[in-house]
Amino acid sequence: AVGALVTGTGLAVAPAPAPAVPHDHQYQDAQPAGEPTRRFTLTAGTATVSVGGRDVGAWAFNGQVPGPELTATVGDVLEVTLRNRDIARGVTLHWHGYDVPNSQDGVPGVTQDAVLPGQEFVYRFRADQVGTYWYHTHAVSDIGVRKGLYGVLVVRPAPATGVDVTVAVHTLSGLPLPAPRTEPVGAGTPVRLRLINTDSTTHRYALAGTPFRVAAIDGYDLRGPTPLVDTAVMIPAGGRYDLVFTAPATPVALFVDGRQVHSTGPVSAATGAWPVLDPLGYGAAATAPWARYDRKFTLVLDRGLDLRGLLPRYAHTVNGAADPDIPSQVVRLGDVVKFTIVNRSPVVHPWHLHGHHVLVLTRDGRPATGSPLWLDSFDVRPGEVWKVAFLADNPGMWANHCHNLAHADAGMTLHLMYS
Ligand code: C2O
Ligand code: CU
């Protein structure tokens, strides 16, 4: 749909050779025309929620953690009114992984002002991307998300058939949500399990009682045939995996870091023994859509001493600088852009670019040989080098940051800017 988008803006841009990109951007409509077909109101406020029988102070949307699950069918126009009751430091809504027009991206100081107590902001965008996503505040995001200002966003190609469940794993005051749940599922029922990691660290997910296929990662369907596997999957901070299987006659249980969070009945399985799936070699390969790159950037992730405050402190740095001193990466509409991301620090950095999905080219020199992986969140481990590429097809000013939100707030945030 690249040609259609370029025409839609009336811009005379010569894009790189038409790539087969599964993107369907919509920047031509900052606020899409037409009546909203799905309306939601999310009111942020301090709340007390019960976690495993304990009362915990939280920040919640509509009094609940996670916030309401927003679901839509592809083609819907979503209108979400955000209100702030009493979160003194302000809130916004960022649609994590949803490549919305820049004005709707919810980054305070970049695309809008934070919504202060008593204020509201109305977001509107077309649900053009099918898949599993989530929303969260982007104002003091480390604290805000940790305290509970997040929720699920699922866009289906058609109303759900079979069993279609979403499990958003989150740690609130050290207590994991959701509490273990049991939902019986009849044998032979097709199940789609949408897993979202809303924490700042990687989690390991495993299914006891059935093999499964990975149907999608970060909202994008993998190219088939996708083999049945019986492994664990590692989901980076912010990332999503959709697992599909046919319910067997015996119970199935989901384990996160060895702890059972969801099941269809009683399961007593030894946990932790599963090998981890390598998504780079999973599913059917396709040829890379781009033969050349218009721009190349290298991001070296490291740790440095920040001497700007009263006391020196560690900062998470990109190319030796910390936010707001990291130069923006400037691209033009239509550019094919390559990023090389090098982690020289001793900790994992889950990388997240707003407004775009990137195609994985290589991870530590190993080419992606399986289905094309279009990711918006990926773990760059200590010592690793990732090469990824994307088409610059969504103009604006986009945050590009580590999704360990404490790192992001401690300097590891820069911006991608269209000239
Ligand atoms: Cu999920 Cu900039 O964030
Ligand atoms: Cu980080």
The pLDDT value given to residue 309: 76
Q: Is the pLDDT of residue 182 over 60?
A: yes
Model ipTM value = 0.98
Q: Which residues have C-beta within 8 Å of that of residue 378, sequence separation ≥ 6?
A: 236, 239, 350, 351, 360, 386, 388
**Which residue's CA is minimally distant from atom 3 of ligand 1?**
96
The pLDDT value given to residue 329: 95
Q: Is the pLDDT of residue 291 over 90?
A: no
CATH of region 31-156 = 2.60.40.420
Q: Which atom of ligand 1 is nearest to the CA of 399?
A: 2
Decide if 222 contacts 216 (C-beta within 8 A). yes
The pLDDT value given to residue 295: 97
Q: Is 96 in the pocket of ligand 1 (CB under 6 A)?
A: yes
Q: Is the pLDDT of residue 331 over 90?
A: yes
The pLDDT value given to residue 179: 65
Return the ligand number nearest the Cα of 315.
2
The pLDDT value given to residue 243: 96
354-410 pLDDT, tens digit per residue, is 999 999 999 999 999 999 999 999 999 999 999 999 999 999 999 999 999 999 988
Q: 19: CA distance to ligand 2 center in Å?
A: 31
Q: Is the pLDDT of residue 17 over 60?
A: no
Return the ligand number nearest the Cα of 412.
2
Q: How confident is the model at residue 178 (pLDDT cuts 50, 70, 90)?
A: low
Q: Do domains 31-156 and 295-418 have the same CATH topology?
A: yes
CATH of region 295-418 = 2.60.40.420
The pLDDT value given to residue 14: 34
Q: How confident is the model at residue 10 (pLDDT cuts 50, 70, 90)?
A: very low
At residue 184, φ and ψ (nearest 5 deg) are -65, 145
Q: Which comes out higher in pLDDT, residue 260 or 219?
A: 219
> Of all residues in the chain, what percent carry a pLDDT higher than 90?
73
Q: 77: CA distance to ligand 1 center in Å?
A: 22
The pLDDT value given to residue 269: 63
**Which residue's CA is minimally distant from atom 1 of ligand 1?**
96
Q: What's the chain's average pLDDT?
A: 88
Instruction: Name the residue with tokens 């590891």.
Output: 412
The pLDDT value given to residue 271: 57
279-288 pLDDT, tens digit per residue, is 999 999 998 8
Mean pLDDT value across residues 188-208 = 94
Decide if 219 contacts 129 (C-beta within 8 A). yes
Q: 218: CA distance to ligand 2 center in Å?
A: 19
Q: Is the pLDDT of residue 195 over 70?
A: yes
How many of the other CB atoms lie within 10 Å of CB of 88? 9
Q: How confident is the model at residue 328 (pLDDT cuts 50, 70, 90)?
A: very high
Q: How far apart are CA 34 and CA 55, in angstroms?
A: 43
DSSP 211: -
Q: 397: CA distance to ligand 1 center in Å?
A: 14
Lowest mean pLDDT segment, chosen from 121-135, 177-191, 214-228? 177-191
Q: Which comes out higher in pLDDT, residue 306 or 152?
A: 152
Mean pLDDT value across residues 232-258 = 94
Q: Which atom of ligand 1 is nearest to the CA of 413?
A: 2
Q: Which comes out higher in pLDDT, residue 306 or 73?
A: 73
The pLDDT value given to residue 19: 39
The residues whose Cβ lies within 5 A of ligand 2, an ion, are 349, 402, 404, 407
Task: Kindly report the pTM of this predicted structure.
Answer: 0.91
Q: Which two tokens stand for residue 347?
A: 């900790």
CATH of 163-277, one of 2.60.40.420, 3.30.470.20, 1.20.120.10, 1.10.10.410: 2.60.40.420
Q: How many helices (H) and strands (E) does the chain have?
A: 3, 31
Lowest mean pLDDT segment, chosen from 84-88, 295-299, 300-304? 300-304
Q: Is 403 in the pocket of ligand 1 (CB under 6 A)?
A: yes
CA 352 to chain centre: 7
Q: Which two tokens stand for residue 189?
A: 């029922």
Mean pLDDT value across residues 247-258 = 91
Q: Which comes out higher in pLDDT, residue 160 or 37?
A: 37
How many of the other CB atoms lie within 10 Å of CB of 43? 17
The pLDDT value given to residue 8: 24
Q: 301: CA distance to ligand 2 center in Å?
A: 8
Q: Which two tokens stand for residue 175?
A: 């207590």
Would you call the peptide bond into 324 cis, given omega within 30 degrees of 0 as the criterion?
A: yes
Q: How confident is the model at residue 16 (pLDDT cuts 50, 70, 90)?
A: very low
For the chain, give every domain's residue range: 31-156, 163-277, 295-418
